[in-house]
Amino acid sequence: MRHAIAIASVTLFILFAPRTAGAQDNPVPSSAMPEITQVRGDLYRVRDGQVYTIFVVTPEGIILGDPLGRESALWLRDELKKRYRQDVRFVLHTSHDYRRAAGSPVFNDTADIEAHVSFSAEVAKARHHDFAHYRFSARMGAGFTDTRTVTLGGRTVRMIHVPSPRTPESVVLLFPGERIAFAHDVPWIGRPPFTFRGLSPADVMAWLGTLAALDYDTLLLGDGRTIARETIDAYAGYLRAMHDAVIKGVGDGRTFAEILAGTTLDQFSGNPHFPARVSQLSELFSAVKYSALRLSAGATVNYVVRASAFCAAWTACSAGGAVHAGRVAAAVAVSRSVEILGEMYVSGQTVSSRTTPDVDEEGATRRTRGAVLLRWTPAPAKFSVAVVAGPSVTVEDVKGFDTVRGVLLPRGGSHPIEQRESRAGATLGFDLDFAISPNVSIRMPVRMTMMRPGKGTYTDSSSDVQVGIELAFRLAHRVAVK
C-alpha cells in the first residue's frame, strides 16, 4: 500500500509539476548504460536513455516487453542471461517505433515475437520513409487483433490492442499478478488542462474505455512516467461526463450554447482539466458525428403555374392553379446540418380547358413527383431554417377529351386524351422547422420546381410552387464523437 501511495505521489508530481526544462518529458536523466530496476516482485523495468521497457522473470524464461533498439537489445540479451540465467522466451511489441522495436531480431533464436496484426505494415511503412532506423526492424507474421495472452512459467501477461490514430499497432501490456499496465505512450495525458490538439476524441474515449476495463492500479509509460489508476479514472470520468453531455445534447437537438449552459460539470470543479471546460466541450461538440433517419408527412398546397405556350392560339384557356397534395419524405441526416432527403408527393388534379370556335379540350392532370434533395440547416436549433435543392422527376398523367365541331367523324366529335410523361427538373426551396420535442417537429416545406419543357400536347405547366405543413418524426438517430 505504501508502495502504491509512493508511486501515485511521484506520478502526481510528474503530471502536475510545472514543466521546466523538459522535466516531464524526461522524468529520469539519461545515462550511457541501460539500467534495470525492480517494479514489483519479478517485474522489472529497463531504462535506456529516455526509453523504457518492462520484463517479467519466470522459472521458464523471461517475457520481455519492447526489445528496444538493436544495441540495447544486444545488451539486454546478455544482461538478462547473466542476471537471471534465463533466455527471453517472449518479446511483446507495444509499438513499431525503432527505439522500442528494432532489437527484436536479437531474440529470434529463443523467443516468440508477438505483436498486433498491423505491426508489420507499420514497420514496412516506416522503413520506406526511414530505412536507416528501421533496417533492423523485423516484420511479423500473423499477429493478433484484439488481445493475446502469453503464459510462461506460471506467469501471465495480456496484450491488449488500444486504438491510436498515430500508432495503429499500439498495445498495452497487462501484468495481472503485479496489477501493472504498461503502455508505450499516452499522448493525450500531459500537462493540464487537457486539449485534444487534433486527436480524435473517439480514439481518446476508446483508449480510456479499454484501460478502464483492465484490472490494474498503476500504469507505467514508455517514457518512464508512472500514473496511478485513480488519476486516469478521474480524467476518464471527467471526459466521459463531458462526452455524455455532448452526446445527449446533440441527440436532443440542442445548440452548443445550450449544451454549454446545461453542462456545468460542477462535480468535477476540482479536476485539473476543468478550467478548460469550454474549449474541451467545443472540441467534443465539433467532433460529433450525427446521423438520423426522419420521416415526415403532411398536406401541401400545390400551385401549378400555367405554361404560356399551352394557351397560345386558343381563344379561351384555363390551366394550372392551386390544388391539394399529399407529401411524404424520408431523410437521412449525415450530420447535424446536412440531410439527404428523398421526398415524394402525389398531387390532386388540376383541370385545364381550352377552346377555339371549332375545338374544345378539357383534361385533368395529376402530378406525382419524386425528388432527391440536399437539405442544409445552417444553424440547427429549436426553430431553424433549412435550404433544400436537388433534382426531381415529375410524372404527369393527363386524362380528358377533346371535341372537334363542324367536321365529319372520325376527325369530328369527342376523342379521349391520355398522356403520360416523365419530366426531369430541379427542385429548390426551404423548410421552416419548429421542434416540439427531440423526435417530433412541425415543418413547413416550401418548394419550387422547374421542369424541362414537356413534349406532350397537353402539358400545361413547366413549374409549380408548393407550400405545406407537416409533421416530421425522427425515427432513429445515432450520435457519436469521431
Interface residues toward other proteins, by CB under 8 A: 291, 293, 295-299, 324-328, 345-349, 351, 362-364, 366, 399-401, 403-409, 411-414, 416, 439-440, 471, 473-478
Q: Among positive and negative, which fits the CA dihedral 402, 405, 411, 413?
A: positive
**Are residues 247 and 287 in contact, defined by beta-carbon separation less than 8 angstroms?**
no
Name the residue nearer to other proteins (CB basis): 372 or 471: 471
Cα Rg for the chain, rounded, in angstroms?
A: 35
Residue 125: strand, helix, or coil: helix
Name the residue nearer to other proteins (CB basis): 211 or 323: 323
Treating both helix axes as pointing N-terminal to C-terminal, what angle do 277-286 and 229-251 enclose, rounded to 10 degrees?
Answer: 60
Name the residue nearer to other proteins (CB basis): 86 or 349: 349
Please state the closest distance from residue 361 (CB atom) to other proteins, in A.
9
Name the residue nearer to other proteins (CB basis): 10 or 417: 417
Closest to 350 (Cα-Cα) out of 314, 310, 393: 310
Closest to 169 (Cα-Cα) out of 97, 78, 111, 103: 97
Please state the closest distance from residue 372 (CB atom) to other proteins, in A.
18
Name the residue nearer to other proteins (CB basis): 156 or 355: 355
Name the residue nearer to other proteins (CB basis): 23 or 471: 471
Name the residue nearer to other proteins (CB basis): 332 or 381: 332
Please state the closest distance from residue 146 (CB atom) to other proteins, in A.
25
Name the residue nearer to other proteins (CB basis): 234 or 469: 469
Please state the closest distance from residue 290 (CB atom) to other proteins, in A.
12
Please state the closest distance from residue 439 (CB atom) to other proteins, in A.
6
Return the residue matching grid coordinates 407537416.
470
Name the residue nearer to other proteins (CB basis): 376 or 473: 473
Please state the closest distance from residue 417 (CB atom) to other proteins, in A.
9
Q: Cell numbers at residue 70, please?
A: 538493436
Q: What are phi and psi of 210, to 5 degrees?
A: -65, -45
Residue 269, sorted as left (phi over 0), alpha (psi -120 to 50) or beta, turns out to be alpha
What is the Cβ-side half-sphere exposure of residue 35, based on CA atoms within 13 angstroms? 12
Please state the closest distance from residue 446 (CB atom) to other proteins, in A.
18
N- to C-terminal Cα separation, the chain: 39
Alpha carbon 141 to chain centroid, angstroms: 31
Q: Cell numbers at residue 386, please?
A: 433549412
Pairing of strands 316-318, 350-355: antiparallel
Cα dist. 34→29, 30, 99, 102 in Å?
12, 9, 13, 16
Q: DSSP states of 235-255 as a string?
A: HHHHHHHHHHHHHHHHHTT--
Name the residue nearer to other proteins (CB basis): 144 or 473: 473
Close Cβ partners of 185 (under 8 Å, ≥ 6 residues apart):
95, 167, 170, 221, 222, 223
Please state the closest distance from residue 295 (CB atom) to other proteins, in A.
5
Integer Cα distance of 342 and 369 in angstroms:
11
Close Cβ partners of 177 (under 8 Å, ≥ 6 residues apart):
41, 43, 155, 156
**Are residues 273 and 192 in contact, defined by beta-carbon separation less than 8 angstroms?**
yes
Please state the closest distance from residue 412 (CB atom) to other proteins, in A.
3
Name the residue nearer to other proteins (CB basis): 156 or 356: 356
Q: Cell numbers at residue 50, please?
A: 529516455
Cα dist. 351→282, 284, 320, 356, 401 in Å?
56, 56, 7, 17, 12
Name the residue nearer to other proteins (CB basis): 28 or 351: 351
Please state the closest distance from residue 308 (CB atom) to other proteins, in A.
23
Please state the closest distance from residue 407 (CB atom) to other proteins, in A.
5
Please state the closest distance from residue 300 (CB atom) to other proteins, in A.
9
**Are residues 385 and 377 in contact, defined by beta-carbon separation less than 8 angstroms?**
yes
